[in-house]
């Protein structure tokens, strides 16, 4: 069974489009899909992190509006003039953009979708209906393109690791050599339309029979590593080990050259290569540099924000203190069984009254990044600087 965080049914003669997402607040213990029927529901699902991960956020937002627009078409609701349809779609896209601030993929998708609707209004036979339909086609395209982009990212990343790391070169010469990779947060099928970015690289390494073990860090406070990445690795039967975030240094000291690389995703890569990603990414990059382990960012070009000069200009989302002071999960009996039918319990783990700072992301300076793996190839620094111009030439 292929893991699918986003289930989308295009319109048929009988019904308008429909969107369901895997509720990631329930994972790993409950597999529950929830319907996203309009923009308000998408906004709430993104804010509450029922769906998360930069590409998935953008796709769910775009498709939720496709569902809303599709229902209006099916109900033969008057959409007014082509200009009105464009304005109306633009207004709802701007609202969706306010759900979470750090990942650029959503604003990138919105700008592209606005161009589509603008162009549609300029067609000779334009009508409000044709503008709405052009929007739906473009939003649906994003879902399809994301999976193929991720597969390409996976292949480029795996090849780079084989050619540029000590473990990769040794493994190529002698298939019995160990090659391990550490990843952070969740960047897999649950964070994208499918396959994943950094986790896509791990999947590709595994398919090429190069990977002996993946390590995933717990990713406090929201535990995307232990809940979601671990779930995907177990699902795909990839040999994998979970560590807490504070164990990364010990892992690097212990494994030495066998740990080929740290591969992470990104929420926004600035023009100079500074990269915003899940909190804890920067510390992994510092540790990797200290231990001589390659540090790679895997991200589609939609995550590269050439309008943001450096990491200093990236807005970092801060989330509720309770994500740090409480944990949620099913009860475990004294003999180790999960009590799933009673739902989740929330447990307090911090002193009442303590102040909390909970930034969801940090910024890793370009200096610490060895390469940015995109769907069209791996960008490395030239004379110490990233230049992403070459990957935007098509």
Least distance from C-beta 87 to ligand MRU, angstroms? 30
Which of the ranges 163-171, 183-191, 334-342, 367-375 carries the binding residues for ligand MRU, by CB under 6 A? 183-191
The residue from 360, 369, 378, 379 that contacts ligand MRU (CB under 6 A) is 360
Size of the site for ligand MRU (CB under 6 A): 17
221 prior amide bond cis, ω within 30: yes
Using the rule CB under 6 A, is 238 a contact of ligand MRU? Answer: no
Nearest 5 degrees, angle CA 95-CA 96-CA 100? 115
Least distance from C-beta 69 to ligand MRU, angstroms? 25
Classify residue 194 by its DSSP letter. Answer: S
> Which one from 23, 108, 267, 274 is the annotated catalytic residue?
267
Using the rule CB under 6 A, is 92 a contact of ligand MRU? Answer: no
The residue from 121, 165, 189, 192 that contacts ligand MRU (CB under 6 A) is 192
Q: Are 116 and 63 in contact (CB under 8 A)?
A: no
Using the rule CB under 6 A, is 117 a contact of ligand MRU? Answer: no
The residue from 70, 265, 273, 311 that contacts ligand MRU (CB under 6 A) is 265
Least distance from C-beta 108 to ligand MRU, angstroms? 13
126 or 238: CB nearest ligand MRU? 238
What is the maximum span of the chain, computed from C-alpha positions, in angstroms?
Answer: 71
Q: What is the CA radius of gyration of the chain?
A: 22
> Can you tell me whether residue 68 is helix, strand or coil?
helix
Residue carrying structure tokens 């991960």: 53
Using the rule CB under 6 A, is 86 a contact of ligand MRU? Answer: no
17 or 225: CB nearest ligand MRU? 225
Using the rule CB under 6 A, is 369 a contact of ligand MRU? Answer: no
d(CA 199, CA 177): 21
Least distance from C-beta 20 to ligand MRU, angstroms? 19
Least distance from C-beta 182 to ligand MRU, angstroms? 13
d(CA 139, CA 6): 13
Question: What are phi and psi for residue 372, nearest 5 degrees?
Answer: -115, 115
Least distance from C-beta 184 to ligand MRU, angstroms? 7
Structure tokens at 343: 């739902």
Using the rule CB under 6 A, is 277 a contact of ligand MRU? Answer: yes
d(CA 236, CA 340): 23
Using the rule CB under 6 A, is 52 a contact of ligand MRU? Answer: yes
Nearest 5 degrees, angle CA 187-CA 189-CA 193? 105
Which of the ranges 28-36, 47-55, 71-79, 153-161 carries the binding residues for ligand MRU, by CB under 6 A? 47-55
Which of the ranges 36-44, 151-159, 209-217, 260-268 carries the binding residues for ligand MRU, by CB under 6 A? 260-268
Structure tokens at 60: 């769910």
Using the rule CB under 6 A, is 278 a contact of ligand MRU? Answer: yes
> Can you tell me whether residue 248 is helix, strand or coil?
helix
Question: What are phi and psi for residue 98, nearest 5 degrees?
Answer: -80, 0
The residue from 88, 99, 121, 224 that contacts ligand MRU (CB under 6 A) is 224
79 or 201: CB nearest ligand MRU? 201
d(CA 120, CA 87): 12
210 or 266: CB nearest ligand MRU? 266
Count of C-beta atoms within a 10 Å radius of residue 194: 22
Based on the residue annotation, tell me whether 267 is a catalytic residue of this protein. Answer: yes
d(CA 173, CA 269): 34
Query: Which residues, including other chains, have CB under 8 Å from residue 85's CB and lie 6 or more apart?
Result: 79, 117, 121, 128, 129, 131, 132
Residues that bind ligand MRU (CB under 6 A): 52-55, 103, 185, 187, 191-192, 197, 224, 265-267, 277-278, 360
């Amino acid at each position: 069974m292929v893991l699918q965080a986003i289930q989308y049914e295009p319109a048929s003669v009988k019904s308008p489009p429909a969107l369901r997402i895997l509720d990631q607040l329930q994972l790993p213990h409950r597999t529950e899909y929830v319907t996203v029927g309009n923009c308000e529901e998408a906004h709430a699902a993104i804010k509450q992190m029922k769906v998360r991960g930069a590409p998935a956020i953008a796709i769910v937002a775009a498709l939720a509006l496709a569902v809303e627009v599709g229902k209006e078409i099916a109900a033969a609701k008057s959409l007014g003039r082509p200009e009105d349809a464009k304005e109306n779609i633009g207004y709802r896209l701007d609202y969706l953009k306010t759900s979470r601030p750090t990942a650029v993929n959503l604003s990138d998708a919105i700008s592209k979708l606005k161009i589509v609707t603008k162009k549609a209004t300029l067609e000779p036979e334009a009508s409000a209906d044709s503008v709405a339909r052009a929007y739906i086609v473009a939003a649906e395209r994003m879902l399809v393109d994301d999976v193929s982009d991720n597969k390409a990212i996976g292949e480029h990343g795996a090849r780079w690791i084989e050619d540029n790391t000590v473990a990769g070169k040794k493994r190529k010469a002698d298939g019995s050599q160990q090659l391990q990779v550490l990843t952070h947060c969740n960047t897999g099928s649950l964070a994208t339309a499918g396959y994943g970015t950094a986790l896509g690289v791990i999947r590709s390494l595994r398919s090429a029979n190069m990977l002996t073990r993946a390590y995933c860090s717990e990713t406090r406070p929201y535990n995307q590593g232990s809940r979601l990445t671990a779930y995907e690795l177990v699902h795909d039967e990839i040999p994998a080990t979970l560590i807490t975030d504070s164990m990364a240094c010990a892992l690097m000291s212990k494994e030495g050259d066998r740990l080929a690389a740290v591969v992470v995703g990104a929420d926004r890569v600035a023009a100079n290569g500074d990269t915003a990603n899940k909190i804890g990414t920067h510390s992994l990059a510092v540790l990797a540099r200290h231990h001589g382990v390659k540090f790679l960012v895997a991200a589609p070009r939609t995550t590269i924000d050439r309008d943001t000069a450096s990491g200093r200009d990236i807005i970092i989302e801060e989330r509720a203190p309770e994500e740090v002071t409480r944990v949620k999960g099913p009860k475990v009996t004294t003999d180790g069984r999960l009590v799933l039918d009673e739902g989740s319990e929330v447990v307090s783990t911090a002193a009442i009254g303590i102040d909390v700072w909970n930034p969801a992301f940090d910024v890793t300076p370009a200096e610490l990044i060895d390469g940015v793996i995109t769907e069209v190839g791996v960008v490395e620094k030239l004379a110490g600087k990233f230049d992403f111009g070459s990957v935007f030439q098509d």
